[in-house]
Amino acid sequence: MSTATLSHNASHASHEHTEPTGWRKYLWSMDHKVIGLQYLFTSLLFLFVGGGLALLLRWQLAYPSTQVMANGDVGNPMSLAFINPQFYNSLFTMHATVMVFLVVMPLLIGAFGNYLIPLKIGAGDMAFPLINELSYWAYALSGVILMASFLVAGGAPAGGWTSYAPLSSVAAYNNTQMGQSLWCVGIFINGLASIMGAFNYITTIVNMRAPGMGFFRMPLGVWGLFITAFLLLLAVPVLSAAAAMLFLDLNSGTNFFNPAHGGQPLLWQHLFWFFGHPEVYIMILPAMGLVSDVLAIFARKPIFGYRAMVYAMVAIGFLGFIVWGHHMFVSGMNLVLSAAFGVSTMVIAVPSAIKTFNWLGTLWGGSIRFTTAMLNALAFVLMFVIGGLSGIFMASTPVDIFVHHTYFIVAHIHYVLFGGSIFGIFAAIYTWYPKMFGRMLDETLGKIHFAFTFVFFNLCFFPMHNVGLGGMMRRIADPTAYEHLRSLQPINQFITLAAIGLGFAQFIFLWNFFRSLKYGAPAGNNPWEATTLEWMVASPPGHGNFETTPTVYRGPYDFSVPGHARDYIMQHEPPISESPVGKPKRAVSAG
């Protein structure tokens, strides 16, 4: 690995490598912007794959096909016969795997991390362009491997995205040895991609900030990605180790997780959640950061409590490593430990509270522009609060005894992951699309898309709280098999309808996205009148980003400074008193 890095770096330094053109650009280019776009397109594709799987599984829940009648007819005329219980299990397993590892992470970290970090800190590219490129291809490869699991004998893995052993680790129990093994391989390679990316981001942010760009002058979007990179670096290898052990259990006869031969099933859970909990913050922190930027831009105000926001993110990142046990309250791990994890989980809600209140503070006294990006960012705040608050129920150990593994959890997942991360992603796409493609997205279509998505999202996922409290378990292929769930069926059908609506709403987005590539109004350098460095260069920025390295004179959010004609001052604009060539003073805080 070191070999590759170094030799590339040497060549990078010695000659400005010529940029490949045409289709070859998308194979060989090591420009962080091209890689960012590759991530963007690939993961949007997977969004539709993951969403398609979700719609299939929703259909099965509304019109189950497992009740085969005496004459061999499937009970419900509406049911899709090919969804048998095993396939249903594969559906939600792959739905979650795709959404988590192939959609949300690559979108936030791969696409926006790559595209925005160098631009926002005033760097020409990432520290290790070759590693960056490798990271994308590793990600793409992991996607192919995971998709291939649908085709192998036994079908796709069916143990849930959490792959609890020994169901996942003993072929005789899960009937999907090949699929489950491919899952391990895919996750391992995906992990390599994440680690390479994280390594790159940290080095880039530490070493390649433009002069004057102190840590406390970085936009919160960069902070979010920076902290996320540390989480990735420390959490992902643990999952890789676990996946390797699972793979060996499945294929080489090791017994790490097999209690029949001295293994420990709970070990898998500890390893998985040691990764898994930081993982959920990996999926929300970059969104939090980017949304903070969006809120500031469209409220025309500096972020309220910038430093508090940074410290809150650091606290979330740090505490995120000591709460994993809240997924295992009722797994039978040490009961005192459960209690301790309950306390730490409550504590981690505090920094989220700080962030929420500071977002409100940012809106206070603003001059709010209701662009589509802003609407999505506002939806992010609201939906994250709903999802976070439902997390409080589960963090309370006694209540978790009741709600664990019910649709209440499913509601939580989707409020934080769709309502949080995906709305955050939409906000980011609507904001930075002009920078990426030099054209504006259509606002009307965007607002229609937003409105449909917002309404259908809530119609789809809010009732899940209720069915969960009513006692409906997650991961069951046919709720009507249970007497006590039968009367919930109308709600389940309703949820499915809303999910279909939600799915179709995304076509508006797709249409807008691709149409605007060609027909969108030209964007100009700084269509949103924003302050950070990426808006000073052309849209899309040229190879190397900045003609000369910019010098940074101020914090990232100098909006509406009194006594200034314009309501924004960009980071590279020198203070009037100081001469433009004067050396910037030591970085001072924005707060």
Partner 1 sequence: MEILLTFIKDALEVLTESLWLLVLFTGFFPLILTSRAGEMGSGRQINREGVEIFEIHWRLTPMQSRFYRFVSPFLVLLFVGLLPAHAEIRETSVWWLPRNVNMFGHAIDFIFYVILVLTGVTFIGVFSVLGYFLVKYRARPGVPAIHSHGNNTLEVVWTTIPVFIFLGLAIYGNEEWSRMRRNTPPADALPVAVVGEQFGWNVRYPGADGKLAKMDPLKVGKDNPFGVDPADPVGLDDFTSYNDLVFPVNRPVRLYLGSKDVIHAFYVPEFRLYQDMVPGRVYDFVWLKAEATGKFQLACNQLCGQGHYKMFGKLSVVPVAEYEAWAKGKAPAPAVTGTSSATPVVSNQR
Partner 2 sequence: MLVFLASEAMLFAGLIGGYIVLRIAQGQGSWPPPGAPEIGVKIPPTFLNWVMITNTVILLSSSVTYHWGEVRMRKGGSGLIGYALTALFGTIFLGVQAWEWMHLKHEGMWFNTYGIYGSCFFTMTGFHGLHVFLGLLGILMTVWRSGLRQMKLFSGQTPNPSHTFEELTGYYWHFVDVVWIFLYSILYVL
Residue 59: name the closest of 465, 454, 507, 499 by CA.
499
Name which of 278 and 556 has its Cβ closer to partner 2: 278
Binding site partner of 499, from partner 1, ligand HEA, Cu ion, none, Cβ cut-off 5-8 A by kind: ligand HEA
Considering the rule CB under 8 A, would residue 263 count as an interface residue with partner 2?
Answer: yes
Query: Considering the complex, what minimum distance in angstroms separates the CB of residue 333 from ligand HEA?
Result: 13
Name which of 247 and 546 has its Cβ closer to partner 1: 247
Residues of this chain, 411-430, that bind partner 1 according to CB under 8 A: none
List residues binding ligand HEA (CB under 6 A): 47-49, 51-52, 54-55, 57-58, 92-93, 95-96, 99-100, 103-104, 160-162, 280, 283-284, 326-327, 345, 348-349, 352-353, 356, 385, 388-389, 391-392, 394-395, 400, 404, 409-410, 412-414, 416-418, 420-422, 460, 474-475, 499, 502-504, 506
Considering the rule CB under 8 A, would residue 378 count as an interface residue with partner 1?
Answer: yes
Does residue 519 sit in helix, strand or coil?
helix
Does residue 316 sit in helix, strand or coil?
helix
Q: What are phi and psi of 219, to 5 degrees?
A: -60, 155
Q: What are phi and psi of 473, to 5 degrees?
A: -80, 155
Query: Considering the complex, what minimum distance in angstroms separates the CB of residue 503 from partner 1?
Result: 14
Query: Considering the complex, what minimum distance in angstroms separates the CB of residue 177 from ligand HEA?
Result: 19
In angstroms, the CA 261 to CA 68 distance is 39
Binding site partner of 566, from partner 2, partner 1, ligand HEA, none, Cβ cut-off 5-8 A by kind: partner 1
Query: Considering the complex, what minimum distance in angstroms separates the CB of residue 190 from ligand HEA?
Result: 15
In angstroms, the CA 476 to CA 405 distance is 11
CA torsion 98-103-108-114 (nearest 10°) is: 110
What is the per-residue DSSP string for 96-132?
HHIIIIIIIHIIIIIIIIHHHHHHHHT-SS-S-HHHH
Binding site partner of 523, from partner 1, ligand HEA, Cu ion, none, Cβ cut-off 5-8 A by kind: partner 1
Query: Considering the complex, what minimum distance in angstroms separates the CB of residue 29 from partner 2?
Result: 24
Whether the link from the prior residue into 527 is cis, omega within 30° of 0, is: no
For 263-330, strand residue ranges (E) read: none
Query: Considering the complex, what minimum distance in angstroms separates the CB of residue 327 from Cu ion?
Result: 6
Beta bridge partners of 406: 473
Residue in 88, 139, 161, 274 binding partner 2, rule: CB under 8 A: 274
Does residue 406 sit in helix, strand or coil?
strand
283 CA to centre of own chain: 4
Considering the rule CB under 8 A, would residue 260 count as an interface residue with partner 1?
Answer: yes
In angstroms, the CA 441 to CA 281 distance is 29
Name which of 18 and 252 has its Cβ closer to partner 2: 252
Query: Considering the complex, what minimum distance in angstroms separates the CB of residue 47 from ligand HEA?
Result: 6
Name which of 250 and 395 has its Cβ closer to partner 2: 250
Paired tokens of 43: 């993961």
Beta bridge partners of 522: 439
Residues of this chain, 537-566, that bind partner 1 according to CB under 8 A: 559-562, 565-566
In angstroms, the CA 218 to CA 589 distance is 10
Task: Count the site residues for partner 1 by CB under 8 A.
Answer: 139
Let me know: does 152 contact 179? Beta carbons within 8 Å: yes
Query: Considering the complex, what minimum distance in angstroms separates the CB of residue 15 from ligand HEA?
Result: 42
Distance (Å) of CA 204 to CA 45, 210, 236, 339, 543: 28, 11, 20, 40, 17
Residue 260: name the closest of 158, 165, 163, 161 by CA.
165
Applying CB under 8 A, which part among 100-108, 262-270, 382-390, 493-501 lies near partner 2?
Answer: 262-270
Binding site partner of 198, from partner 2, partner 1, ligand HEA, none, Cβ cut-off 5-8 A by kind: partner 2
Name which of 131 and 488 has its Cβ closer to partner 1: 488
Paired tokens of 192: 């390599």
In eight-state DSSP terms, residue 439 is B
Binding site partner of 277, from Cu ion, partner 1, partner 2, none, Cβ cut-off 5-8 A by kind: Cu ion
Does residue 181 sit in helix, strand or coil?
helix
Name which of 172 and 576 has its Cβ closer to partner 1: 172
Paired tokens of 147: 């998709």
Applying CB under 8 A, which part among 19-27, 99-107, 482-490, 571-579 lies near partner 1?
Answer: 482-490
Considering the rule CB under 8 A, would residue 264 count as an interface residue with partner 2?
Answer: yes
Residue 224: name the closest of 128, 138, 312 by CA.
312
Residues of this chain, 197-256, that bind partner 2 according to CB under 8 A: 198-199, 202-203, 233-238, 240-242, 244-245, 248-249, 252-256
User: Which residue in the block uniquely carries the two structure tokens 């793979």?
Assistant: 247
Let me know: does 327 contact 277? Beta carbons within 8 Å: yes
Considering the rule CB under 8 A, would residue 206 count as an interface residue with partner 1?
Answer: no
In angstroms, the CA 163 to CA 431 distance is 37
Binding site partner of 284, from partner 2, partner 1, ligand HEA, none, Cβ cut-off 5-8 A by kind: ligand HEA
Residue in 67, 68, 261, 575 binding partner 2, rule: CB under 8 A: 261
Residue in 31, 125, 133, 478 binding partner 1, rule: CB under 8 A: 478
Name which of 125 and 249 has its Cβ closer to partner 2: 249
Query: Considering the complex, what minimum distance in angstroms separates the CB of residue 38 from partner 2?
Result: 23
In angstroms, the CA 139 to CA 99 distance is 13
Whether the link from the prior residue into 166 is cis, omega within 30° of 0, is: yes
Residues of this chain, 3-62, that bind partner 1 according to CB under 8 A: none
Binding site partner of 150, from partner 1, Cu ion, ligand HEA, none, Cβ cut-off 5-8 A by kind: none
What residues line the site for partner 2 (CB under 8 A)? 1-3, 5-6, 10, 195, 198-199, 202-203, 233-238, 240-242, 244-245, 248-249, 252-256, 261-264, 267, 270-271, 274
